[in-house]
Amino acid sequence: MNTHPHERPRILLHDPTLRDGHHAVGHQLDADQLRAYAIAANAAAVPVVEVGHGNGLGASSLQIGRSKLDDATMLTTVREALTSSRMGVFMAPGWGTSEDLEASVHHGADIVRIAAHCTEADVTERHLGVVRDLGAEAQGVLLMSHMTGPGELAEQCALMVNFGAQAVGIMDSAGHYLPSDVTERVHAIADAVDVPVIFHGHNNLGLAVANSLAAVDAGATVIDATARGFGAGAGNTQLEVLVAVLERCGAETGIGLREVLAAADIAADRLMKAPPTIDSIAVASGIAGVFSGFRRPVLQTARAEGVDPIDLFLALGERQVVAGQEDLIGDVARRLKAAAR
């Protein structure tokens, strides 16, 4: 990180442990688990704690998994535990609705992220306007951002700013980026907008912390990270590691290191069966550029159809599948099986 000796850049860490982490446990966290982690994150002065179904507001469904609790119960539980941290929610148009946004703000959401595929920012216009009208902070994020280049991402982010987004950025949904990829993209976005830039990393290739540092160097000031990297597949950028690394680099996060380490221990003990690891499937997902949340259905389908899951991930990558296209997994698997005969 390149900083002036007297300059301590302020980085806002956004913690989606209780939202993105949900992917790792089939969206089955209960109220006691949500409460325990939220209390610990609040004690660590984590600025924003994001909560909800892994795919966001309104996403609980048979297709992608029903959550143990409904949105209202999750939000109410976490809101009561956060006395100083702000509460965030996430919504992708198509799964959530304006009614879901209204309910989330009613239940205490301070920050609402509206997500879109990396080339489809136009679908966020209505919902960003609704969030602004509701008085919450509106943010826009682009999913599967490796699927297009820096210039297009910058244009799409600028569109979301025009729609009312007060912070914009990109998600490395498949854990596909190298630091140089992040640098190019974040630089382009930061040059194109006058609001804070967001980066959200995944760890499929073991580069989530390095990519987050590259994002900071390139101008991002809002970085996502989860306790113990809790998330689908190889997981997300690891929050407590990132706090320590940023401290070493001279950045200011406002988060207590001892307290965030304690929160991470609670996450490990209470939220997950085992910490995320970078196994062969995670690497295949990262190289193929396929959303990490496809891990479970890919493994299930590969087993049922008798095909290699790594081959299935690579084939899905060639088809450039995105979240919401889970129904294609079976079709691609059957084609692989037929081709092998």
Question: Which residues are identified as catalytic?
Answer: 23
d(CA 175, CA 209): 11
Residue 17 in tokens: 């442990």
DSSP assignment letter at 238: B
Rounded to whole angstroms, how far apart are CA atoms 320 and 332? 12
Considering only CA atoms, which of 53, 19, 30, 9 is closest in space to residue 227? 19
Please report, for residues 24, 54, 172, 224, the alpha-carbon distance to residue 28 in angstroms, rounded to integers and kept in the order given. 9, 10, 24, 22
d(CA 215, CA 196): 12
- Collapse the DSSP code of 117 into the 3-class scheme (helix H, G, I; strand E, B; otherwise coil) and give the result: strand
Backbone angles phi, psi at 99, to 5 degrees: -65, -40
